[in-house]
Chain A
Amino acid sequence: MAIAKVAQVGDPLPNITLPTLNGGELALDELRGKRVLIFFWGSW
């Protein structure tokens, strides 16, 4: 059985496109060119 691939430190950030709170969209690849902090949180 193949193990699901999970991105680790040293791997490229998976390029997914997600909605933004203000009604737009952001592809994670658009963040390229600068160092970024992505903070993951939830309202719960």
Chain B
Amino acid sequence: MALEHTGAEAARPFVEKAGATFPTVIDEEGLTSTLLGFKLVPNGVLVDGDGTIRYAKYSGFSIDKPDDVAAVARFLEGKDPGPGSQKKAPYTLGEAEQELVATKLRLGRLLDSLGRRDEAIAEWQAALRLDPENLVIRKQIWVARYPEKFHPTIDWDWQKVQLEKEKQEEVASGVCGPDGCPLPGYSRMRP
């Protein structure tokens, strides 16, 4: 499941390089992020035969990590895969806000597919202001605005600096508080 708000083709080189034999599904609107509540990838989710989620590790899941592979192996043997980890954001979106985020992501995708990238970025930024800890959205905006930082190689050091810079700007502009996003009482409920 590749999250690619700027279109499916971004995923293709990685899938081909990996020689993936399993189906690759593309989430161009951040639907899965909304429905499962994760804010970053890579994630591993294990689902049993009746469609029940049995394990979720959000952020940092890798087939190169022995613990993650062991969880999958236990699950395939019919055993308990273990606890996984579902990091909680410091806030929970309200139903109406979540719907608004989803709508803005969908509209952004539509505008981007029509070649109206500036308008798409504006919608994605509006979604990010509602869900400022969502790094899936934040990074999609970076991909659209700063493609040279992602192709031909991903500049991870730049991402760290950029994230810090944006967080400081968000504190300065009042979107976030000094202890994170969003400010308490900023129309959200804390869990």
Which residues of A are at the interface with B, using a C-beta cutoff of 8 A?
1-16, 18-22, 26, 28-29, 31-44
Q: List B residues 1-47 near A (Cβ within 8 Å).
A: 1-4, 8, 10-15, 23-28, 31-32, 34-38, 41-47
B54 adjacent to A9 (CB under 8 Å): yes
Q: 6 tightest A-B contacts by CB?
A: A4-B98, A6-B37, A40-B43, A2-B95, A21-B24, A43-B10
By size class, the interface of chain B is: 35 or more
Which residues of B are at the interface with A, using a C-beta cutoff of 8 A?
1-4, 8, 10-15, 23-28, 31-32, 34-38, 41-56, 61, 63, 72, 75-76, 84, 86, 92-99, 136, 139-140, 142-143, 150, 154, 187, 189
A38 adjacent to B45 (CB under 8 Å): yes
A40 adjacent to B38 (CB under 8 Å): yes
A7 adjacent to B96 (CB under 8 Å): no
Main SS at interface, chain B: mixed
In the assembly, what is the distance between CA of A17 and CA of B126, in Å? 25
Write out the residue numbers on chain B whose beta carbons fall within 8 Å of the beta carbon of A36: 46-47
Q: In this complex, what residue of B is CB-closest to A19? A: B26
Write out the residue numbers on chain A whose beta carbons fall within 8 Å of the beta carbon of B4: 42-43
